[in-house]
Amino acid sequence: KLENATAKAELGRASWKLMHTMMARFPDTPTADDSLALQTYIQLFARLYPCGDCASHFQLLLQEYPPQTSSRNAAAGWACFVHNEVNKRLKKELFDCSKIGDFYDCGCGEDGKDGKK
Ligand code: FAD
């Protein structure tokens, strides 16, 4: 089947949005189980990502730059960094990762007031 660049780009945008928004809601001080869950999620995401070429490249990136899951900052910074690595390969503009702070808002309002999310 022919490649459909529009669909591929849309899948990419949606996936990055979910990824970065998850990082923005990851606990500041995760439990070992939280960190393991995120590690596992990222590895399975890279394995199951529907664009096969993208998945292969991303798996190599994960080997070179293992996911950082020790805190929200570490996870968000890592995701921003690897997204920039993909941007570089695709010759796209790089994102200033110092500005990632409030950029991704889940829109979930008041839930997580306990500081865990
Ligand atoms: P996207 O890269 O989708 O970014 C969306 C928005 O996120 C940007 O507009 C910007 O506001 C923000 N953003 C940009 N950089 C960052 C950053 N570093 N951190 C946080 N936010 C940022 N496409 C291919 O053609 N070949 C591939 O091999 C390929 N591999 C991919 C691998 C993965 C894991 C994913 C999720 C996507 C991949 N894609 C690939 C898709 C590609 O990365 C883009 O999503 C797609 O080309 C659409 O690009 P875009 O310019 O709309 O911006």
Write down the ipTM of this complex.
Answer: 0.99
pLDDT at 109 over 50: yes
pTM: 0.95
Cβ contacts of residue 19 below 8 Å, gap of 6+?
A: 45, 79, 83
Cβ contacts of residue 41 below 8 Å, gap of 6+?
A: 22
Tell me how crowded residue 6 is: count the other CB atoms within 10 A of its CB. Answer: 8
pLDDT in tens, 67-79: 999 999 999 999 9
Pocket of ligand 1 (CB under 6 A): 8-9, 12-13, 15-16, 20, 49, 53-54, 57-58, 80, 83-84, 86-87, 90, 92, 95, 100
